[in-house]
Amino acid sequence: MTIIDRYIGRTFLGFFLAGLVVFVTIFLAVDAMSFALRYSEAGVGPLIRYYFYFMPTVVYQMVPVACLLATVFTMATLNRSNELVALYSVGLGLVRITAPILVLVGIIGLLSFAVSDQLLPRFAQRKNYVEYVEIKKRPGLYSTVNTNKIWYRSENILFNIKTLDAEAARAQGLTLYYFDSAWNLVQMVTSREVLIDKTLWKLHDGTVTLFAGEGSFPLTKSFTEKTVEMNEDVADIGATANSSEVMSLRSLNKFIARNKEAGLDTLRYEVDYFSKFGFASAALVMSLLGIPFSIRRQRSGGHVMSIGLCLALAFSYWALYSLGVTLGQHGTLPPILAAMGPSALMGAAGTWLLLRLRQ
Which pLDDT tens digit goes with each residue over 268-281?
888 888 988 888 88
pTM attached to this predicted model: 0.74
Q: What is the pLDDT of residues 303-330, one digit of tens each?
A: 566 667 667 777 888 888 888 888 888 8
- Mean pLDDT value across the chain: 81
Q: How confident is the model at residue 260 (pLDDT cuts 50, 70, 90)?
A: confident
User: How far is the CA of 272 from the CAs of 129, 136, 244, 308, 338, in angstroms?
Assistant: 22, 26, 7, 30, 10
What is residue 359's predicted lDDT score, i.e. its pLDDT? 47
Kindly give the interhelix angle for 3-38 and 44-80, rounded to the nearest 10 degrees. 150
Half-sphere exposure of 140 (CA within 13 A, CB side): 16
3-state helix, strand, coil split of the chain in percent (to 5) is 65, 15, 20
What is residue 168's predicted lDDT score, i.e. its pLDDT? 62
Contact 197, 210 (CB under 8 A): no
Q: What is the pLDDT of residues 68-78, one digit of tens each?
A: 999 988 988 88
48 pLDDT above the threshold of 80 = yes
Residues 6+ apart with CB under 8 A from 170: 164, 193, 194, 195, 196
146 pLDDT above the threshold of 50 = no
What is residue 298's predicted lDDT score, i.e. its pLDDT? 47
Q: Which of 71, 48, 245 is nearest to 131 (CA)?
A: 48
What is residue 233's predicted lDDT score, i.e. its pLDDT? 58
What is residue 160's predicted lDDT score, i.e. its pLDDT? 79
The mean pLDDT value for 95-105 works out to 90
For residues 307 and 144, the model is more confident at: 307
Kindly give the interhelix angle for 335-356 and 267-280, rounded to the nearest 10 degrees. 20
The span from the CA of 40 to the CA of 33, in Å, is: 10
What is residue 262's predicted lDDT score, i.e. its pLDDT? 63
Greatest Cα pair distance in the chain: 95
Amino acid at site 244: S
User: How far is the CA of 346 from the CAs of 32, 112, 289, in angstroms?
Assistant: 33, 21, 7
Contact 286, 64 (CB under 8 A): yes
